[in-house]
Amino acid sequence: MEEKKFYRLSKLLFDYKDLEPYISKKQLTLHHQKHHQAYVNNANEILRKIDEAREADKNLEMKSILKSLSFNIGGHILHSLFWRNLKPPKKGLLAPENTINNILEKEFGSFSRFKKEFSQAAVSVEGSGWAALTYCSRIQRPLICQIEKHNLNLYPAFKILLVLDVWEHAYYLDYQNDRQKYVENFWPLVNWAEVAKRLAI
């Protein structure tokens, strides 16, 4: 029988210190190695339990186990997207160009209006969750959404272009409870080349 595959922690494309002064080395290390790693470990542990139950022909409590699996896989996927849409502040574009910029201007009227709406979405997430810029290929429009915890309640046609983690574990060491300041300092770190790549896929 072919060996089962499991999730692995996504590697960063930069060093832990490279997002300073906006995200400290200590904050980023904790976020990546502890919190993201925990979602990977938990998802893999659940998959192993499912495998063992199937091999032993035992029943599973499907509702609870699938809810937990979804939560942890969602955490892994969103964090993996998050790391790749970050870049060191002195590298890359500070604002999108060409296709992405045109799409945002057509929908929001201006890039500054998009930033304002996305920031408001991030700051106002209730409890723990994410702000996301998505693209619906059916109507060919970018849409901002809030994601509660890790629940990816998106239609299959929606591409996730950009995400911002607003769980407290993403910023508390650097910003305490000042989520708004953290959101403001997110913008110099956005990897617009990655956003454009996701749209093109």
Question: What are the structural domains, with CATH classification, of the chain?
Answer: 25-84 (1.10.287.990), 98-200 (3.55.40.20)
pTM of the model: 0.93
Q: Which residues contact 85 (CB under 8 A, 6 or more apart)?
A: 162, 163, 190, 191, 194, 195
Q: Cα–Cα distance between 166 and 168 in angstroms, integer?
A: 6
Q: Give the gyration radius of the chain's Cα atoms.
A: 18
φ and ψ at 17, to 5 degrees? -85, -10
Residues 72-98: tens digit of each pLDDT: 999 999 999 999 999 999 887 778 988
Residue with tokens 């939560």: 71
Cα dihedral value 48, 54, 56, 61, nearest 10: 80
Highest mean pLDDT among 124-128, 137-141, 175-179: 175-179
Q: Which helix (H) or strand (E) holds 165?
A: strand 158-165
CB 150, CB 43: distance < 8 Å: no
β-bridge partners, 159? 135
Mean pLDDT of the chain: 93
Asked if the model's pLDDT at residue 1 lies above 90, the reply is no
CA 151 to chain centre: 11
